[in-house]
Amino acid sequence: MPTGWVRSLHCKSNVSDDVIIQPKPSLSISKLRLPRSCTRSHSQPLKDSIFPFPKPKPTNPKPEPRPKTMPVPPSPPPPLLSASLPSFVELPPDHPTHGVVQRIFLCSWSPDKEGVSFSGEIDRVFRIRHPIKALAQFEQYRAAVKARSAGSDPRCIADGNEMMCFHCPAGGEVKIGLSGYNGSDAPVKGIRTFSGSGGAHESVAQVKDMEKRAMLVCRVIAGRVRDDGIGANSEFESVRVGKEEIVVLDPRALLPCFLIIYKV
């Protein structure tokens, strides 16, 4: 019967299905999933076995050598003006040295005239600090004076006949006629110094319209002092004019110590 044939055919088809082994679906490499328990260190060997390709080596580019720069030596500092010029330090009124300089200035104003005193006012007092070169030059001149005056004046032999004098810068230099000095009768330039502050002030009294004036207290190496008109043929370093004035012939003989600014 046709119905039985169909049934047997259907059975045969089922048998064939039972005999034929169906292939399992293939796993794609891209769909492989590692368990979460695998760490990064364990997964690396597995990747190396699945992907047998050489691992690229990290490239570390070599740093380019920098051009060598020669060290530049530091430029020398500019010369300081203080190395060749004196400096001025103002002394306050309550400073002990300020009081000493003030007393010397006032007491020597008119030592020979009673009742005549300084009627002005001392405004400021400065201490003068000299560079080493100026101090050395002053001492060299002292040594030369002592050597030239050996066996003559005891004061010159001791310290070059050093004394304290006053000098007004406004007075400048003066020309004096000294016969026999250096074998010539020509006028000689000298610097006017005074034993009293009043004499130094009078040396520039002709200067008018000056509210404030300046005066220096100096160390002076007078050396052998020649009285004016006496001993024309003798050797000397300075000349005495009158009672108070001494004219020194070498600027190295002066070393200013204090500057006094005063009003008259």
Residue 102 pLDDT > 60: yes
Residue 132 pLDDT > 70: yes
Q: How much is the average pLDDT of 190-203?
A: 90
The CA distance from 40 to 116, in Å, is: 111
Domain range summary for the chain, segments of one domain joined by +: 84-263
204-213 pLDDT per residue, tens = 866 666 778 8
pTM, rounded to two decimals:
0.62
**Residue 246 pLDDT:** 92
CATH number for region 84-263:
3.90.228.10
Q: What is the DSSP string of 124-151?
A: EEEEEE--HHHHHHHHHHHHHHHHHTTT
Beta strands in 27-172 (DSSP E): 87-91, 121-129, 162-167
**Residue 203 pLDDT:** 84
Count, in order, helices (H) and strands (E) of the chain.
Answer: 6, 10
Q: Are 116 and 71 in contact (CB under 8 A)?
A: no
